[in-house]
Structure 1
C-alpha cells in the first residue's frame, strides 16, 4: 500500500493534487512523514515541473521534469533552504516539495503558495493548534491571515497496537481559513482515525472536493454525486494496485494512464482484473 494511507484516502488526495492543492504532513519524530511525502508525490500530474528542496536527499520522484536541490551547509558558500526556495520560485515550478520546514523557509513556502506554486512539505507538529502556533511564531513568522493558502494538514503518529509499533495517519484536515475574532484556524476534518477499529473514517463529504475540484472542472453542484462516485472508483483502482501491483512505479504508470484515458476506462480494466495500463 502507500505506507499509512488507505486506498480511499489516497483516491481523495489524488483528486486534490490534480488541481494543485498544498499539503503539509505533520507528526512527531519517526512518525514516517518523509515516507508519506514521497508516496503522495506519485499523485502529482506526470508532466508537472517539480522542484524538491532538502537537507539530505530522501524523496525520489519519477517525474521527467523533476529538479532536485540540496542545501550546502559545510562546504564553501552556504546554500540554505531559504536560498533554494527563493531560487525555485524564479523557475516557475508547478509543485515545490520541501523536505521539512523548520525555519524562515516556512515563510517563503507560504508566499510560494500565495503566488500559485503549490507546496508539499513536512513539519514537526502533533496537532493543528501546534502547527498554527509553529507557523505563526519565531522563526517562521507567517502572517496569520496567510495560513489559509495551506489547504491540507495531514497528521500521523507512531502508536502501539498489541505488542508492535505501527504508523497511522490520524487525521486529514481541510483548512478553510483564519478566524481573526477567535484567533484560530477554521477547518473541517475529511478523514479521522478510529483507534478502536484501527480504521480511517471518511467524514462523508469534502469542502475542497466540492469547491476546488468542481470549480477546476467547471462542474455545477448538480454533479456532486459524480465526484464522489469517481473518488470511489479511484479507490477501487488503488485497492487493486495494492493487491496486484504494489510498486511505486506501477502506481505512477496507473496515474499517467488515468490522466490519458480517463478514470472510468481504467476502472473498467481493473473490474475485469486486467493490468490498469496498456
Structure 2
C-alpha cells in the first residue's frame, strides 16, 4: 500500500512534465518577393522585375531586412510614381511603382542604362549620379565643353540606344551638382537650353532705336484752268491752258447740227 502511495505523486507530475517539454513554434511567413538584401544586389533589373511581377510597394518594404535608402514620389509625363531605392557600396537597385493604391510594381533599374531607359519610357527622372554614368558608359559618352555652362555642370553627348530604341540616336545629358538634371532628346533642345544661358542685354545697354522717318505726303492745292469753252465768267477770270494735250477725244458734231448736211 505504501508503494502505491509513493507512485501516485509521480503519476500526477507526468502530464505536467510532458507539457513543459512541448515546444511552441511560431512560423513567420514573410513575402517571398525578395529573400534578402544580398539577393537584391545579386539580381539584375530583368530578374528583379520577374521576381516582383504582381507585387506591391508594401510587399517589397516588408520583405526587405533593411530600411530603404530613399522612398519618394516622382512626377512623370502626366502621372505620378512611387520610387523605392536601395544602395550598397557603389551599387543601387531602384523599384518603380504606381503611385495610386495598391501601388503595384512597374519596373526595376540596376544600372545607369536601366535608369536612362526608365526615364525615357515614363518621362521621369529617377536619379543618376555623374559617377555612375561615367563608370557605365566610359568612353562612349563625350563631354561637351561650353563656356555658357554654370560651375558644377557637365554636359555629355551619347549615341543612346536601349530595348525600346534599337537604333542609336544622339542624346545629351546634363548633370548639375554631380546628379542628372536634364535630358535633351535632340540637338535643337540642347541648343535652346544653351541659348537660354546667354547673358540678356538690358534695355539700358542697348542703343535707343529711332523710328524711320515717314515720307511726308505733300498736298498741293487743286488749281483749275480753262481749256476751252466755259461760261463768260470762266473765260474772263480763269487762267487758260496754252497748247493743251488732248485728254479726251474731240466730240463729233451730229448731222442735225451740221448745216451742210441738213439740206
TM-score by length of 2: 0.24
TM-score by length of 1: 0.23
Q: Which has the larger radius of gyration?
A: 2
> Per chain length, whose mean CA-contact separation is higher, i.e. which structure has more relative contact order (CA < 8 Å, sep 6+)?
1
